[in-house]
Amino acid sequence: MAWEPHMFKELHQIPREEHVFPGTPLCAGCGGLESLRLASKVLGSHVVYVNAAGCFTNLAAFPFTPLDASWLYTTMGSAPAGAQGVRDALDVLIAKGRLPKEEDLKVVVLGGDGSTYDMALSSTSGAITRKLDFYYFCYDNEAYGNTGVQLSPATPYGARTSTSPCGVQHPAGTTQEKKDIFEIWRAHKPPYMATVSPRFPLDLEEKFARAEEYRGPKLFLAFAACPTGWLFDPAYTPDVARLAVECGLWPLKEAINGTVTHTYIPKRKPVEEYLKLQGRFRHLFEPTRQDEAIRHIQARVDDYWKQVNG
């Protein structure tokens, strides 16, 4: 669909048609699946998904697939290289007249944060440098989710994972800060990048529609609230996703040819409201409150927004 500004002003404009069907073995309440389902409504069915190993491996568990598009499975480190192969093959087929131009397909990488921030980073960097015309959809559940919620470079400070438990030495859990993959991508000067959250479906749909205008590498970082890994009841996926944005921890923004625009400026509730909902941060509140760690998380958010507002 051709994009016009503010195409998605109200929920009734969200396409009814589904392109990611039900019946997958992904967890109930998976925020990553919710993001992909909404994204696919704009991406449509003329797509090849190139999927790095991760939770989304379980999308298509043989002999079932929920996609009315094609799906190619790759190792964790090589999805962007796989996408290059698919794109090249499509281009060659079109150039030789063996595939009509109208039947061209979009190439979309699906990767968890483990692949995106970590293992596939060199492959990604190469693909962006080669100006590969593809979408990169990262569902960021802030851990290596599929293998038991291990620390990833996307895990935020203070979260407990199975490999960064809270102990005597590190009472706050993870001591590293979340890697800023958005800025790493932006340094490569791709034409389009955005962060999205499924709890802001109109913003999400709008960004996917807008990205269609751009040829070259396009990044989507989707907030993937993860009930299983973040230890909250799946009913609260919408609240966790909303509070991440409202507390300023997950800024909704896009960068067109490197220029960043924030598409939503939250009033910024205290980060505590977000942290308190999740078991992975419970140790910050009980048995003893860790004020220092909570202040630290709040300060990082405040610093970010100070720089945004000038």
Partner 1 sequence: MRAVRFHGRGGQGAKTASRILGTAAFLEGFVAQDSPIYGAERRGAPVAAFTRIDTLPIKQRGAIVHPDLVVVADASLVQDPAARVLEGIDERTAVFVNSPLIAEQFQAKTSLPGRLTTLDLTDIALQQFGKRGAISALLGAVAGRLVGLQRESIREAIARELADLGLAAAVIERNQTTALQCYDAVPAVPLETGSPRPIVPVLLRTPTYEPPTRGTAGITAGPNSAIRSVAGWRTFRPVLRPDLCNGCWLCFANCPEGAIAIKPDGKPAIYYPHCKGCLDCVEVCPTDALTVERETEAAREA
Contacts with ligand TPP, residue ranges (CB under 6 A): 53-56, 75-77, 112-115, 141, 143-147, 152
Structure-derived torsion over alpha carbons of residues 292, 293, 297, 298, reported in degrees to the nearest 10:
-30
45/176 with CB nearer partner 1: 45
Helix H or strand E encompassing 84:
helix 79-95
Are 56 and 75 contacting, i.e. CB atoms less than 8 angstroms apart?
no
Judge residue 310's burial from the number of C-beta atoms within 10 Å of its C-beta, 0-12 exposed, 13-18 middle, 19 or more buried: exposed
- Contacts with 124 (C-beta within 8 Å, 6 or more apart), sequence order: 80, 116, 136, 185
Smallest distance, Å, CB 142 to ligand TPP?
8
Rounded-to-integer distance, Cα 17 and Cα 40, Å: 10
Positions touching ligand SF4 (CB under 6 A) are: 26-27, 30, 32, 55, 141, 145, 224, 226-229
For residue 76, the partner it binds in ligand TPP, partner 1, ligand SF4, none, with Cβ less than 5 to 8 A by kind, is ligand TPP
| Residue 273 binds partner 1 (CB under 8 A) | no
Which residue in 34, 23, 16 sits closest to 66, CA to CA? 23
Classify 55 as helix, strand or coil.
Answer: helix
77/227 with CB nearer partner 1: 227
27/294 with CB nearer ligand SF4: 27
For residue 127, the partner it binds in ligand TPP, partner 1, ligand SF4, none, with Cβ less than 5 to 8 A by kind, is none
145/198 with CB nearer ligand SF4: 145
Q: Which residues bind partner 1 (CB under 8 A)?
A: 11-12, 14, 16, 18, 20-31, 33-34, 37-38, 55, 57-58, 60-68, 71, 160, 165-166, 198-199, 201, 227-228, 233-239, 279, 282-283, 286-287
